[in-house]
Chain A
Amino acid sequence: MTTLLTPPNDTERAEAPAPLSRPAKRKFGRWVLFVVMVAVAVVMLYPFWVMIVTSLKSEAQFLSGGGFSWLSWKSLSATIPIGQEVLSSTIVCSASILIILLVGLPAGFAFSKLRFRTSTAVFLVIVSAMMVPLQAILMPEFVNVTRLGLTGGYAGAVLVYAALGTPFSVFLFTTYFRGVPDELIEAGIVDGLGYVGVMWRLVVPMAVPAIATVTVLQFIQIWDDLLVGLLFIQNTSERPITVGLAVLAAGRTTSIPALMAGSLISALPAMLVYLGFQRYLVKGLTMGIDR
C-alpha cells in the first residue's frame, strides 16, 4: 500500500504496453491533417474558381456549355456601369468609415477613461444596438431618411451605415482603451494636455490595431451590403457595385459571365483590404473578446 509519504514499489506499477512509435504516428497524422486542410481550401476557393471560369466565356459560350473567351471582360463596362459603381462604393465606404471612426474613438475613450454617472448603462444600450437587425427598423428608417431628403444620393446611406457600424466600433474601442494604463493619460495631463489632446495625441496613435480591425470589418460589411444601398441610394447613377450586381441578377436578363466578371471586380477591394490588414485583425479581435 502506498501513501503520500512512502513512494510506490517498482513492482506495484502495472505493465504498460509499448506505445506505437511516436514520431511515425505523429508524422502520419500531420499528413492526414494537411490533406484535410487542402480539401477544405479547395471548397473555400470554389466560388473564385467558378467566377473566374464563368467569366472567361462569352454569353453564347456560357449558354451552350463550353468555350473560352475574353469577350465578357472586354465588353464589361458596356454591360454593367462598373467603373461608376465601383466609384460609388468607394465613396460610400470611405465616408461611412470615416464617420464611424470619428464618432467611435471619442466615445470609446469616454466609456473607458472618462466615466460619467450613467456611462455604464449608456454603454450597454449602445452595444446592445448591435443586436438590432436592420430589417426591424427598415421601414421607419426609410421614411425618416426620405423625409430628410437624403435618399437621392449618398448622404442617407452613409448615415445609416455609420449608425449601424457605430455600436461595434464603440464596443471595440472601449475594450481596447481599457487596456491603456491610466498612468499614461495622467502623464499627459501633467505634461499639459487637455482630454482632447490626450485622446488624439496619445491614445489614438496607440490604438492602431483596433482602428485597423474596425476599418477592415466595416469596409467588408459596407462594401458588400445590399439592402441599404438598394433602398437608400435611389439615383441609379450613384449605385454601389453590390447593388448593381444584385439588381441585374434578379432581373435575369444580363449575361451571366458578365455578372461573374463584375463580381470578381467587386470582390477584389474587400479581399485586398483584408489581406493588407490581416495582422491587426487577430490582435484587434483578441482585445475585443478579452473584455
Chain B
Amino acid sequence: MSLISAPVPRVRRMTLRRRRQLAGFLFALPAIALVVGFIGVPIGQAVYYSFTQWNGLTSKWIGTSTWTQAFHNSNLWTALQNNALLLLAVPFALGLPLCIAALLHQRVAGWRIFRSIYFLPTAISWVVLGLVAERFFAYQGTLNSIIHALGLSSVTTNMLGYESTALSALGITFVFTMIGTNTMLFLTGLATLDPTLEEAARIDGASRWQIFRSITLPHLSRFIQLAFVMTVIALFSALFSLIFVMTGGGPGYATTTMEFLIYQTGFNQGDFGTAALYGLILFVLTGIVGVVQLRLIGSNE
C-alpha cells in the first residue's frame, strides 16, 4: 500500500445529517423571515396596540377601554352582523361551482373552451367586477332594464340604494366572483378521481345519484374543504374591493363588513387602536371558522 495519496479530500467535521439540516434551515430562512416579519410581528403588534389609543404616530396605553368602547359601538355589531349574513352566500358560492364542475366533467363538446370562459372572470380585478356590478344593480342599470323588458315594471329596484337589499346585491356579486376559482378547484378534484371506481359502481348497479353521493362527494371532500376555507377568507378580506367600489359601505352601514370597518376606522377616522382591535377580532373569527370546518369535515370522515 503506497503512501503517495491523491490530493487530500475535503474532510468535513459535520456529519451528513447535520450538514443537511443546516442547509435546510438556511434555505428556509428567507421565507421564515419574510412571514414572521410581515405577518407574525404585525399580529403581535395588533394585540398590543388594541390596548392603546393610537393614531399611527403616538400611542397611549389605555388598557381595556378600547375594548369596552369598541364592544359598545353599534357599528361593530352591524359589521359583524353583515359578515354573518354574508356567510349565507357561502353555500351558493360552493354549490354552484360544484354543479358547474360536474357539468364540465361530463366532457360535452368544447368543454375546454367553456372551462376557460368560466375561469376568465377570475382574472378580472374585483374592483372591475364591482364596477360592473354597480352598473347592474343601479337604478338605471341593467337589472332594471331586464325587468322592464320582461314587463314587470312594478318590481324595479334600486338594490344598492336601500339598506335591506344592498347586502344581498353584494352577496350575489360575491358568489359570481367565486364561481371561477371554485369551479376550477372542483374540476381539478373531479379529474383526480379514479374513473375505475365509478365504473365498478356502475357495474354493481348504482344509480347516477348514488355514485355521486357515495364516491364522488367523499373524494371531493378535501377540495370542498379547501374551497370553503378559501371562500370564507375571501369573504373576510377580499370583499373589501367590492364594497369600496360598489357602495362605500353604505347606505349607512348596511354593507360595512369587518374588513371595511377596519379601513374606515383606521384611515378615515384615524383611530388606529380601535382598528387594530377590529383586525384582531377579524383574525379570531377567521380562525374560528377554520377550526369549525375542520371539526365538521373531520367528524364526517
Contacts and interface: CB of A to CB of B under 8 A. Distances in A.
Contacts of A51: 128, 132
Q: Please indicate which of the listed interface residues A54, A103, A115, A159 has the most CB atoms of chain B within 10 Å of its own CB.
A: A103
Secondary structure call for the A interface: helix
B210 to A, nearest CB: 18
B218 interface: no
Given A104-B31, A139-B49, A166-B34, A278 B25 contact: no
A245 B39 contact: no
A45 B117 contact: yes
Interface stretch (B64-72, B159-167, B278-286): B278-286
Contacts of B180: 44
A245 B28 contact: no
B233 interface: yes
Interface stretch (A2-10, A74-82, A129-137): A129-137
A44 B184 CA distance: 14
Contact of A166 (B31, B100, B142): B31
A285 B103 CA distance: 20
Interface size range on B against A:
35 or more
Given A47-B132, A136-B283, A137-B39, A227 B192 contact: no
A246 B108 contact: no
Interface residues of A, number: 90
Contacts of A195: 20, 23, 27
A135 B282 contact: yes
Contacts of B245: 246, 249-250
Contacts of A48: 120
Given A34-B109, A131-B286, A167-B35, A110 B25 contact: yes
Contacts of B41: 140, 144
Given A163-B35, A226-B241, A135 B263 contact: yes
A226 B126 contact: yes
5 contacts: A115-B24, A117-B21, A227-B241, A266-B128, A289-B188
Q: Which 4 A-B pairs have the closest CB atoms?
A: A114-B24, A163-B38, A224-B125, A140-B45
